[in-house]
A and B are shown apart, each in its own frame.
Chain A
Amino acid sequence: MRSFSIGLRTAALLLLVVAAQAQAYRAPRSADGHADLNGIWQALNTANWDLEDHSPAPGTMWETGAIGAVPAGQSVVESGEIPYLPVALEKKKNNFASRRTNDPEAKCYMPGIPRANYMPYPFQIVQSPKGILFVYEYASANRFVNMGKPEEAGSDTWMGTNYGHWEGETLVVDVTGLNGLAWFDRAGDFASDKLHVVERWTRSDRDHLQYDATIEDPSVFSRPWKISMPLYRRVEKNAQILEFKCVEFAEELLYGQYKKK
């Protein structure tokens, strides 16, 4: 019994050591001494279909068969569900019902923040001491994170006004000036132009980048809420961002009805 107890203690200690080591991962340094976030990253989850828990489901068009179907997935929302105000929840349901034509992704509109980070396309972080550029493959969207003194957003945009600072190993990006036209996913989750997103980017090991974001919009949600997910490094040799200029793929949807018959 005694030796079992010692064994248990040792195991507990070992676990603590392992946990401490996991905590203590220290990323390679960038030129200016911060954690190096450079790389091509991609989510490997179903958040772009639905941030919340969801069962598999058919797509919006039977013509695309199983190719267009929705894979099941677990929630990336910290508390499981998004705390919508009642009116906003109605709007989300309407969004969902009209998603085939109304999801901004279907129209090839810029994805906004946070959605850009977990779409099924890679993005590249280009980290310079002078600022950090996010280059998304989807729709050639991009945003420059200014590391200088934050200023009020000049005008509302799809990708927001982005100011960054470091809190130890974590890059914190404060995103304001979002126009509220982008959705969060294909399930119709949304916010308004009062949306404020605070992102936290932390290297958790060589090939993983932890992404956490706090989402706040008092006109849509009853309280701030969080999403959290790992992003994965695209480790393929010669991985690179290719072009996905999707405007052409959306033109028939957007303008087909105005063509000469």
Chain B
Amino acid sequence: MRRLLIFVALALPFAPASFAQQTATKVWTPPKTAWGDPDLQGIWPGNMGVPMERPKGLGERTELTDQEFAQRVAQAQRASAADAVEFAPKDERIGIGPPSYWTERGKPTRQASLIIDPPDGRLPPMTPEAKAIQAKTPAEWAGKANSYDDVNLYYRCITRGAVGSIIPVVYNNGNQIIQAPGYVVIRNEMIHETRVIPLDGRPHVGSNIHMYLGDSRGHFEGNTLVIETTNFTNKTSIGSNGVAYNGQGGRNSEALRLVERLTRVDDDTVNYQATIDDPKTWTKPWTILIPLKRDDKYQFLEYACHEGNYALKDILQGARKQEELQR
């Protein structure tokens, strides 16, 4: 792990090789926009398959062994085989998940965990206050449906948060980057969100303005786009769909300061690295790495989430009906 960290630290100001090819020595020069910024434009969908936290047994090892990788590949193949099944078996409980064939499956990689720092690939300890919040906020909807606000922000189609919008999930993983002089925009397909990031060094908005996606300011350090984001709410999580750190609930605090680094390491890869510094929630900062692969053929769809949110209405109506039957 130490080797990787040193590599990442050294490589950032230059044009580093990809995560998977960290020993490559050839320097790749990324394209520039007409106005001279490193060109990150394109559609860069995330792909599932790498866990947030590293299995404890792997220790500080950042990549899977051949044997472990073969297992991951076999697992991916089994999952793909299930995609051929269009309809669920008759006796299967009516599920809330999507059919298997909706799933966007990427090519399996050897990356052991999204978390690359701390070196063991695991979340640092939470503060006692954050633990208390976590106990009250389950990641998945726990079934309580007295009101719409018993249901999480994702199911309510409000947001998945800045990082949660990039962490790969089952479908609609489209991330599009668009640039104009003085701006970089990150556009996320699911729920439909954009972060317009000014590069002109202006100060953040006032501290009384809070936003789910925060207030982002960017600059280039060599070929790396560095985005510093503050002014968050305390309603989202850093994790899958913005509702969980790692299958666990909990929320980040308004003190969160997010530093993202986007580096195009080859024609088809942008390494997305995010450091989460939220001293009210975690006792030290932690960092994730997601290599995003370019896909020019990716169909970036309109995700009209709230407009088609029959689930929330059905959940509430169902709960009222259940109460009526129990009376």
Contact = CB atoms under 8 A, between A and B. Distances in A.
Contacts of B301: 155, 157
Interface in A138-163: 140-142, 144, 154-155, 157-159
Contact of A248 (B158, B192, B299, B317): B158
Interface stretch (B120-128, B194-202, B264-272): B194-202
Contacts of B147: 255, 259-260
A247 interface: yes
A211 B183 CA distance: 23
Given A110-B307, A240-B205, A260-B146, A135 B185 contact: yes
A155 B35 CA distance: 35
Given A126-B183, A251-B148, A242 B205 contact: yes
A32 interface: yes
A245 B159 contact: yes
Contacts of A157: 301-302, 304
B306 A31 contact: no
Interface of A: 31-32, 38, 108-110, 124, 126-131, 133, 135, 140-142, 144, 154-155, 157-159, 181, 238, 240-243, 245, 247-248, 251, 254-255, 258-260
B2 interface: no
B313 A258 contact: yes
Interface residues of B, number: 48
Nearest to A140: B193
A204 to B, nearest CB: 21
A201 to B, nearest CB: 15
A242 B209 contact: yes
21 contacts: A31-B35, A38-B183, A110-B302, A124-B196, A126-B180, A126-B183, A130-B41, A133-B187, A133-B194, A140-B191, A140-B192, A238-B202, A243-B212, A245-B159, A245-B212, A247-B157, A247-B158, A247-B306, A251-B149, A255-B147, A260-B320
Given A255-B312, A255-B313, 20 more contacts: A31-B181, A38-B181, A124-B196, A126-B196, A128-B41, A128-B178, A131-B178, A135-B185, A144-B300, A157-B302, A158-B307, A241-B196, A242-B205, A243-B212, A245-B159, A245-B212, A251-B156, A255-B148, A259-B316, A260-B319
A77 B177 CA distance: 36
A169 to B, nearest CB: 18
A255 B192 CA distance: 22
Contact of A144 (B146, B187, B191): B187
Contacts of A142: 187, 192, 194
B91 interface: no
Nearest to B303: A157
A142 B252 CA distance: 27
